[in-house]
Amino acid sequence: YPEQQHKQMKEEYRFGLGLLVSIVSGILSACFNFGIESGKPMAQVANEIWKNSHPGQGEFLFQNNVTFVVILWGGLTTNFIWCMILNARNKTFGDYINKKTPLLSNYFFSALAGTTWFLQFFFYGMGESKMGNGASSWILHMAFIILVANLWGIILKEWKGVSGKTKAMITAGIVTIILAVLLVGYGNSLK
């Protein structure tokens, strides 16, 4: 069984495609921050409404959530369409109601994952509304996600059995991210 799985993985392995997807994903992840920056006028209106209705209480902590409503509709739309295409292609529409699958736990964990995923932006928006340094806080946010994901991968032994070359590459990537964060921090200190 493991040999069969290994053979299938080798057949599906396409380094060039993986590299292309990684690069495009990295570039497109910045688009969310562009959306936040473009939505600043909406956040400012929410902040002004807050300050007028709550005098003397400072800035509105949740002002960025207003922009998330607009930004996340785009993600929902593209993800929904892609899932429907995959359901049609794989003839899996019935899986949503298939009695042989643990539907309750599937729906629960799906909702939990979605909620957890949104909370990263919710808390990011709170922090950014206080820090107010846009792109720099976005870089810190993305770097933290990557570092924590890799840390959990190491703790849960997801990298068990990989070559020393792969481990060196992961380490080099983590060091690069940490150096980039330090460089951005240093650059901000010069302002």
Q: Domain map of the chain by residue range? A: 25-132, 134-191
CA 50 to each of CA 46, 76, 94, 126, 161: distance values in angstroms, whole numbers, following the listed order: 6, 28, 46, 14, 54
Calpha distance 191→183 (Å, rounded): 13
The whole-chain average pLDDT of the chain stands at: 88
Q: Using the structure block, give the residue that is written with the tokens 């292609």.
A: 89
pLDDT score for 23? 92
pLDDT score for 2? 66
Which of the two residues, 146 and 11, has the higher pLDDT score?
Answer: 146
Q: Look up the pTM and report it.
A: 0.71
Intra-chain end-to-end CA distance of the chain, in Å: 58
pLDDT score for 129? 82
Report pLDDT digits (tens) over 77-93: 999 999 999 999 999 99
pLDDT score for 1? 54
Q: Is the pLDDT of residue 41 over 70?
A: yes
